[in-house]
Amino acid sequence: MYARFARTLSQLRHEKGVSQREAAQALEVSQALLSHYENGIREPGLAFVTRACDYYHVSADYLLGRTLSRDGSIIEAGDVYDSSGEKGSLRGSIMATLQKKLVVNTTNLLFDLLGKTGNRGAITAAGDYLSGGLYLLLRHLYRRGGGNEELFGVAADAFDAGAVEADMAASRMHYQLALHGADGQCPSLTAESLTAYPGLGQSVAQVVHNTDERCKKLSEI
């Protein structure tokens, strides 16, 4: 939680356009202590969290990383911008609609950024990796629904043995190698730069948050 608090605290200060010294004075702490908070070295007390919320006009839940809505409210499916161009919602639950929007928006932003690099190798590898994941999920669903797997070219035993996962691992390797050879082509990315993508940036933040939480739980097992 405090790692996310530190990142959010620093991000809010940069968004406000104030120096660390100015923020420290307004928050009634030393610049050194604020630096420790922003770098996750020290944990804040309740009094500081309250002052920071008032100063940056956000909720404690947002500052502590418990929600991505600055006023502390829960983000509903309708609150997430849908860049797919599709009108209306998917059939099924609201959760399905929300997840679809998050994935579509984040994917659109990813390929928009990759397009700016002009790195064909990275773009192709990213598409291959994501396609593999979709293939994997769709085939499991298709199998569960009793469909004839002759539709798919990969034999069932090869699929069960991890052929798709192996292809995804290779695509990930190609992606990383392509980016490694593209120094200077990649756009400068910071938490603040995502604000240049209204709606899409919110989806990216939600995807990052959800994945971080799942991975942290795995690391605690």
Reported as a single tens digit per residue, the pLDDT across 21-30 is 999 999 999 9
Mean pLDDT computed over 117-130 = 92
**Residue 124 clears pLDDT 80, i.e. is over it:** yes
- Domain count for the chain: 2
**Quick check: 24 and 33 in contact, CB under 8 A?**
yes
**Residue 78 clears pLDDT 60, i.e. is over it:** no
DSSP per residue, 114-178: HHHHT-HHHHHHHHHHHHHHHHHHHHHHHHHTT--GGGSSS-HHHHHTTHHHHHHHHHHHHHHHH
Residue 76 inside a domain? The answer is no
Let me know whether 36 and 99 are in one domain. no
Let me know whether 127 and 194 are in one domain. yes
Let me know whether 99 and 175 are in one domain. yes
Let me know whether 23 and 99 are in one domain. no
CA atoms within 13 A on the CB side of 55: 22
Residue 71 inside a domain? The answer is no
Taking the whole predicted model, whether its pTM rises above 0.75 is answered as no
Q: Which residue has the higher pLDDT, 67 or 40?
A: 40
Distances (CA, A) of 147 to 140, 141, 152, 221: 10, 9, 10, 36
Query: How many C-beta neighbours within 10 Å does residue 62 have?
Result: 19
Let me know whether 27 and 124 are in one domain. no
Q: Is 103 left (phi over 0), alpha (psi -120 to 50) or beta?
A: alpha
Let me know whether 33 and 109 are in one domain. no
Residue 67 confidence class, pLDDT cut points 50, 70, 90: low
Let me know whether 100 and 195 are in one domain. yes
Let me know whether 39 and 109 are in one domain. no
**Residue 73 clears pLDDT 60, i.e. is over it:** no
Average pLDDT, the chain: 82
Query: How many C-beta neighbours within 10 Å does residue 96 have?
Result: 13
CATH number, domain at 16?
Answer: 1.10.260.40
Let me know whether 56 and 124 are in one domain. no
- pLDDT, tens digit, 9 for 90 and up, residues 164-198: 999 999 999 999 999 887 655 677 777 666 656 66
Range of the domain at 17: 2-63
Residue 18 inside a domain? The answer is yes
Least confident interval from 61-65, 71-75, 208-212: 71-75
